[in-house]
Amino acid sequence: PRRVRVHHLAEAKERGEKLTMLTAYDYAVARIFDEAGIDLLLVGDSIGNTMLGHASPIPVTVDEMLPPTRAVVRAAKRALVVADLPFGSYEAGPEQALATAVRYLKEAGAHAVKFEGGVRVAAQVRALTDAGIPVVGHLGFTPQSENTLGGHRVQGRGDEAAERLAEDALALQEAGAVAVVLEMVPAPVAARVTEILHIPTIGIGAGAECDGQVLVWTDMAGMSDWSPRFAKQFAAVGALLGEAARSYAAEVRGGQFPDADHSFLS
Ligand code: KIV
Ligand code: NA
């Protein structure tokens, strides 16, 4: 299958074709999503919550992000692989952001990086773009700023906040961003941002008018112990996996497994 490239993103928007994105944190799952035709795989810093058991993405380090990014890149034959820069690895300025992002490309083979913020990180977006590193923006609810945002709350409510969100989105586009994730934004506000940008918006809890959608895969597949209201469960993989483990344990304890078919008899 033809690889998804950065220029395909704006082309998809122009043609009115929705973009699909899921998080992935390892080879096994990334391979399944790539074969399912998911356009973009996001090695999200949500790995802190979903795979490492933290209460937030804030403790996640660059050194923890690189191995999963490598694994997802190895699995992706078609999908564009985007990887999150974690908290503390880009905010200080363009030099810090560039040094971090260069590691993602050189050491892990990421195709693009994503980090949070608008106007405040526009210089970082510009520096990376100029260096040949595609950047995806992230606005609305930005989990790395949970402490200043006051928890998981919808962002961009009210005229003033909506206007600020639009300004941030335009600043990212102007700085060279190839797409913008909008998280927990009222649907009409996300629709307006989508309308004023020529780069695609990828929504998560941001309504149906975005140019694409992203979900955390463990939420999407019913693997999480908790998931937000906007994250629809498309399967009950967690229950299925638990059932498989229970059947396996029962057959081992009962002496049914391994049988002759699953043994080397000579
Ligand atoms: O880390 C992540 O999974 C993300 C998505 C929710 C967009 O940033
Ligand atoms: Na993230």
Distance CA 47, CA 22 (A): 12
Residue % of the chain over a pLDDT of 70 = 100
The residue among 64, 70, 74, 68 whose CA lies nearest residue 34 is 74
Tell me: ipTM over 0.90: yes
Q: How far is the CA of 83 from the centre of ligand 1 (A)?
A: 9
- Check if 204 has its Cβ closer than 6 Å to any atom of ligand 1: yes
Residue closest by Cα to atom 8 of ligand 1: 44
Averaged pLDDT for residues 67-72: 99
pLDDT at 77: 98
Q: In this structure, are residues 180 and 9 in contact, taking their beta carbons and an 8 Å threshold? A: no
- Check if 137 has its Cβ closer than 6 Å to any atom of ligand 1: no
Give the CA dihedral 123, 132, 165, 212, nearest 10 degrees. Answer: -170
pLDDT at 225: 80
Residue 133 neighbours by CB distance under 10 Å: 20
Q: Which atom of ligand 1 is nearest to the CA of 23?
A: 3
pLDDT at 72: 99
User: How confident is the prediction for the chain on average, in pLDDT?
Assistant: 97
Q: Residue 169 — left, alpha, or beta (φ > 0 → left; ψ -120 to 50 → alpha)? A: alpha
Averaged pLDDT for residues 59-66: 98
Q: Which atom of ligand 1 is nearest to the CA of 45?
A: 1
Q: What share of the chain is helix, strand, coil (3-state, %, to 5)?
A: 45, 15, 40
Choose one of 51, 84, 89 to mutate for the ligand 1 pocket test, by most ligand atoms within 8 angstroms of C-beta: 84
Binding residues for 3-methyl-2-oxobutanoate: 45-46, 84, 114
**Tokens coding 28:** 């096994």
pLDDT at 1 over 80: no
- Check if 205 has its Cβ closer than 6 Å to any atom of ligand 1: no
Amino acid letter, 134: P
CATH superfamily of 6-256: Phosphoenolpyruvate-binding domains (3.20.20.60)
Domain-by-domain residue ranges, the chain?
Answer: 6-256
- Check if 213 has its Cβ closer than 6 Å to any atom of ligand 1: no
Q: How far is the CA of 244 from the centre of ligand 1 (A)?
A: 29
Residue 231 neighbours by CB distance under 10 Å: 17
Using one digit for the tens of pLDDT, what is the confidence trace for 129-156? 999 999 999 999 999 999 999 989 999 9
Ion ligand 2: residues, CB < 5 A? 44-45, 84
Q: Which atom of ligand 1 is nearest to the CA of 47?
A: 1
Binding residues: 45-46, 84, 114, 116
